Amino acid sequence: MGIDVALELRRGESLAIVGDPHSFLPRLLPSVDDETFPLLRFVDWYGNTVFNSIQMPQFISEWERLIKKTDVAEELKILEEILVLANKCKDDIHLYIKFYGD
């Protein structure tokens, strides 16, 4: 089971979810030791991690770097779908990106 990523309202209602049934994200996300990813290195693969609209410009910058690191179609599809959620989140102070770990 992989990490699911949701675009949520502040009370936790999901507007959209991107699933990771093949567990690509744990392999693609940076390790906690990788300081070149100040936000994404803290995604908890086994717990939950939340990002808000204020964090989205940095999140998107780091996410776009992840996209450039793969040319595998299935991985790109998931990464690009999450990027769409992040762009929606950045435009609304009451939206959040939430990672649901295994």
34-82: per-residue pLDDT in tens? Answer: 999 999 999 999 999 999 999 999 999 999 999 999 999 999 999 999 9
* % pLDDT > 70, the chain: 99
Kindly report the backbone phi and psi dihedral angles of residue 83, in degrees, each rounded to the nearest multiple of 5, phi listed first. Answer: -60, -40
Instruction: Tell me the pairing of strands 4-9 and 14-18.
Output: antiparallel
Spell out the domain ranges in the chain.
4-100
pTM across the whole model: 0.94
Question: In b/e form, how buried is each residue of 22-48, taking b as 16+ CB within 10 angstroms?
Answer: eebbeebbbeeeeeebebbeebeeeee
